[in-house]
Structure 1
Amino acid sequence: MLTRYLLREILSNLLWVLSLGLLLLYLARMADFGPEIFARGGQVADLLRFSGYLLLFLLPFALPLAGLAGVLLAFIRLAHDREILALASLGISPLRLTRAVALTAAGLFALALLLTLLLVPQAKRRMRDTLWQLAVKRLERGLPEKTPVDWFPGTLLYARRVKEGFRLKDVYILREGPGGKKGFLYARRGRLTLFPGGAELLLEKGEGHFFSSDLQRVENLYFESYRYRFPLSPPEERELKRGEMGLFELLSRARSSKLPPHKRRKYLAEFYQRFFYPLAALVLPFLGLPLGLSLKASGRAPALILGLLLHLFYYLLFSLGSTLAEEGKLAPPLALGLAPALFLALGLVLWRFSLRREGL
Structure 2
Amino acid sequence: MKKTLYRYIFNEIPPPFLVGMVTFTFVLLMGRFLKLAEMVVEKGVPFTDVLRMVSYLLPSFWLFTIPMALLLSILLAFGRLSGDSEVTAMKSCGISLYGLLPPPLLFSAFASLLCMWVTVYAIPWGNSSFKALMLEIAQSSAGISIKEKVFNNAFPDMVIYAETLDAKAQNMAGVIVHDERDPKTPTTIFAETGALYSDPKTHSMEFQLKNGSIHRTEDKGGYRMVQFQEYVLRVALTDTVPKGPKKASEMTIDELLHPPKGTDKKEVLARSLELHSRLALPFSCIVFTFMGVPLGIQNRRSGKASGFSLSIAVILCYYVALSAFDTLGEHGILPPLLSGWGPNLLFLAAGVYLFMKTAAEEPLPLTGLYPQMKELMRTRFGKGGKR
Normalising by the smaller structure, the TM-score range is: 0.7 to 0.9
Residues 187 and 214 in structure 2, CA contact (< 8 A), matched pair in contact too: no
Query: Corresponding residue for 2:32?
Result: 29
Query: Corresponding residue for 1:214?
Result: none
Assess, with a 3 A threshold, how the Cα gap between structure 1 residues 148 and 17 changes in structure 2: closer, same or farther. farther
- The partner residue of 1:92 within 92, 95, 98 is 95
TM value normalised by structure 1: 0.77
After TM superposition, give the deviation of residue 333 of structure 1 in Å. Answer: 0.9
Assess, with a 3 A threshold, how the Cα gap between structure 1 residues 66 and 156 changes in structure 2: closer, same or farther. farther
Q: How does 1:4-153 map to 2 (within 5 A)?
A: 4-36=7-39, 39-140=42-143, 143-144=146-147, 146=150, 149=153
Alpha-carbon separation, structure 1, partners of 2:295 and 2:7: 21
Alpha-carbon separation, structure 1, partners of 2:139 and 2:161: 21
Assess, with a 3 A threshold, how the Cα gap between structure 1 residues 197 and 50 changes in structure 2: closer, same or farther. closer
Query: Corresponding residue for 1:244?
Result: 250
Query: Corresponding residue for 1:280?
Result: 284
Alpha-carbon separation, structure 2, partners of 1:54 and 1:115: 12
**2:263 is aligned with 1:270:** no
Q: Which has the higher contact order (CA 8 A, sep 6+)?
A: 1
Alpha-carbon separation, structure 1, partners of 2:188 and 2:306: 58
Cα deviations by residue, 1:250-273 (Å, 9 ceiling, x for unpaired): 2232xx342221122112222222
Assess, with a 3 A threshold, how the Cα gap between structure 1 residues 206 and 2 changes in structure 2: closer, same or farther. farther
Assess, with a 3 A threshold, how the Cα gap between structure 1 residues 124 and 308 changes in structure 2: closer, same or farther. farther
Amino acid of the residue matched to residue 348 of structure 2?
A: L
Alpha-carbon separation, structure 2, partners of 1:34 and 1:334: 41
Larger Rg: 2
TM value normalised by structure 2: 0.73
**2:330 is aligned with 1:326:** yes
Query: Corresponding residue for 1:260?
Result: 264
Q: How does 1:187-336 map to 2 (within 5 A)?
A: 196-199=202-205, 230-233=235-238, 240-253=246-259, 256-295=260-299, 296-299=301-304, 302-336=306-340
After TM superposition, give the deviation of residue 9 of structure 1 in Å. Answer: 1.2
After TM superposition, give the deviation of residue 51 of structure 1 in Å. Answer: 2.1
Query: Corresponding residue for 2:375?
Result: none
SS in 1 for 2:16: helix
Alpha-carbon separation, structure 2, partners of 1:79 and 1:317: 30
Residues 59 and 126 in structure 2, CA contact (< 8 A), matched pair in contact too: yes
RMSD: 3.8
Alpha-carbon separation, structure 1, partners of 2:10 and 2:42: 46
Residues 74 and 292 in structure 2, CA contact (< 8 A), matched pair in contact too: yes
Assess, with a 3 A threshold, how the Cα gap between structure 1 residues 13 and 130 changes in structure 2: closer, same or farther. same
Assess, with a 3 A threshold, how the Cα gap between structure 1 residues 6 and 142 changes in structure 2: closer, same or farther. closer
Residues 138 and 237 in structure 2, CA contact (< 8 A), matched pair in contact too: no
Amino acid of the residue matched to residue 345 of structure 1?
A: A
Structure 2 stretches of 5 or more lacking a match? Answer: 227-231, 364-387
Amino acid of the residue matched to residue 346 of structure 1?
A: A
Amino-acid identity (%): 25
Assess, with a 3 A threshold, how the Cα gap between structure 1 residues 345 and 229 changes in structure 2: closer, same or farther. farther
Amino acid of the residue matched to residue 241 of structure 1?
A: K
Query: Corresponding residue for 2:343?
Result: 339
Alpha-carbon separation, structure 2, partners of 1:44 and 1:160: 27
Alpha-carbon separation, structure 2, partners of 1:36 and 1:221: 41
Alpha-carbon separation, structure 1, partners of 2:225 and 2:320: 50
Alpha-carbon separation, structure 2, partners of 1:98 and 1:207: 75
Query: Corresponding residue for 2:368?
Result: none
Amino acid of the residue matched to residue 322 of structure 1?
A: D
Assess, with a 3 A threshold, how the Cα gap between structure 1 residues 232 and 188 changes in structure 2: closer, same or farther. closer
Query: Corresponding residue for 2:354?
Result: 350
Residues 101 and 285 in structure 1, CA contact (< 8 A), matched pair in contact too: yes
